[in-house]
């Protein structure tokens, strides 16, 4: 179980990077970035997970409810989700403008931050 849990994290991260490197479309690239991003969210929650623990919500619970999963890691993951949404929205806005200017979204055709703009 431990191996599976952490392997999925590594897999998502690397597969997201793979998608970005091979991407031929900026919008596709942005979504691949969000896949790599979710790897880190997942890692945070896996570190905070406690087997047979209950959620850190204490409504209608006895006074000593037993093991509880890590609320810190959930808070950090929450922050990261919001952050990822913000970055994705900005990158999509940039992509829309790039398409308007150049008519393409292919990074291969966009390789022109020309050293010489003469």
Partner 1 sequence: MTDRTRLRVFLVAAAGLAVALGVGLAGLPRFGSPASTYADVINALAVPLRRSTDAVSAVTLDFRGIDTLFEEFILFAAVAGVSILLRPLSDEIGEMPEDQAPDRRVPPPSPAVGLLGTILAPLLVVAGLETVTHGQVSPGGGFQGGVVLASALFVVYLATSYSRAERFQPGGLLEASDGAGAGGYVIVGVVGLLAGAAFLSNTVSLGQPGNLISGGTIPILNAVVAVEVAGGFVLLAKEFLDQTAVIRQDRGGRRS
Partner 2 sequence: MRDAVIALALVWVAASGTAVVLTRDPLHQAFVAGFFGLCLASLYLAMQAADVALSQLVVGAVALPFVILLSLAKVRKPE
Partner 3 sequence: MIPAVAHPAPGTVLAPLAVAVPLAAAAVLAGANQRIPALWRDLLGSAAAATATVLAGVVLSQAAHRRVVYWFGGWRPVHGTVIGVDYAVDPMGGALAVLAGVLALAALVYSRRFFGETGGRYPALVLVFTAASIDFAWTGDLFNMFVAFELVAVTGFILTGFYAEEEAPLQGAINFAVLNTVGGLVVLTGVALLYGHTGTLNLAQMGQTLAGHRPGGLVVVAFALLASGFLVKAGSVPWHFWLPDAYGTAPAPASILIAGVTSELGLFGLARTWETVFSGAVAGSAEQRIRLVLGALGVLTALVGTAMALAEDHPRRLLAFVVIAHLGVYLLGFSLLRTAALGGVALLAAGDGFVKGALFLAVGIIRRHRRATGARALRGEGPAITIAAGVIVLGVLCLSDLPPFSSSVGKDLLVATAGSAGPLVEAVIAVTVVGSGAAILASAVQVWQGHAVDNPSPSEDAAETAAGWGNVTLLAPPVVLLAAALGLGLVPHLADHAASAAASFADRPGYHAAVYGAARRAVARPGTGGGGVEPLVIDGAEAAASVLAAAALVSRRRIAPVLGRGTGWLRDLHRGHLGDQLTWAVLGMAAMAAASGLALR
> Quick check: 69 and 56 in contact, CB under 8 A?
yes
- 47 makes contact with partner 3 (CB under 8 A): yes
Using only the alpha carbons of the chain, give its radius of gyration.
20
Burial grade of 35 (CB within 10 A; 0-12, 13-18, 19 or more): middle
Of 66, 85, 113, 114, the one binding partner 2 (CB under 8 A) is 85
Degrees to nearest 5, angle at CA 38 with 2 and 26? 140
When asked if residue 61 is in the footprint of partner 2 (CB under 8 A), the reply is: no
Binding residues vs partner 2 (CB under 8 A): 1, 4-5, 8, 11-12, 15-16, 18-19, 24-25, 27-28, 30-32, 34-35, 38, 41-42, 45-46, 48-49, 51-57, 69, 74-75, 77-78, 81-82, 84-85, 88-89, 92-93, 95-96, 99-100, 103, 105
């Amino acid at each position: 179980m431990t191996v599976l849990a952490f392997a999925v994290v590594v897999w998502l991260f690397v597969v997201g990077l793979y998608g970005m490197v091979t991407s031929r479309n900026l919008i596709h690239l942005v979504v691949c970035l969000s896949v790599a991003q979710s790897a880190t969210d997942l890692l945070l929650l896996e570190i905070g997970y406690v087997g047979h623990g209950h959620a850190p919500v204490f409504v209608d619970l006895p006074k000593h409810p037993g093991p509880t999963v890590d609320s810190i890691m959930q808070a950090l993951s929450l922050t990261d989700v919001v952050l990822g949404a913000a970055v994705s929205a900005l990158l999509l806005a940039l992509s829309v403008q790039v398409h308007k200017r150049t008519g393409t979204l292919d990074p291969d055709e966009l390789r022109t931050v020309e050293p010489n703009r003469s």
